Amino acid sequence: MTAQTVTVVGGNLFALAALYLNDATQWIRIAQANNIVDPQLVGIATLVIPPVDPTAGGGIAG
């Protein structure tokens, strides 16, 4: 599967990771793909969603 682009209004990366990656803990992958650090989104944002990878770890940015 390839990366996709989505446009959202507000929300957070946890919910997007749960929806698109089937694992809320993988929010960091979305953050890294978009060069953002805050999982809370404000306003309209167009984001790259990386492909689903069930072997990818989740966690927090370090």
Structure tokens at 25: 């803990």
Average confidence (pLDDT) over 17-46: 96
Alpha-carbon span 44 to 27, nearest angstrom? 18
Residue 60's pLDDT band, with cuts at 50, 70 and 90, is: low
Q: Structural domain of residue 26, as residue ranges?
A: 4-49
pTM of the model: 0.87
What is the CB-side half-sphere exposure of residue 17 using CA atoms within 13 A? 22
Residue 25 belongs to some domain of the structure = yes
User: Which tokens go with 6?
Assistant: 């989505």
CA distance linking residue 1 with residue 12, whole number of Å:
23
Confidence of residue 39 (pLDDT cuts 50, 70, 90): very high
Q: What is the mean pLDDT of the chain?
A: 91
Q: Per the structure, how many domains does the chain have?
A: 1
**Domain presence at residue 54:** no
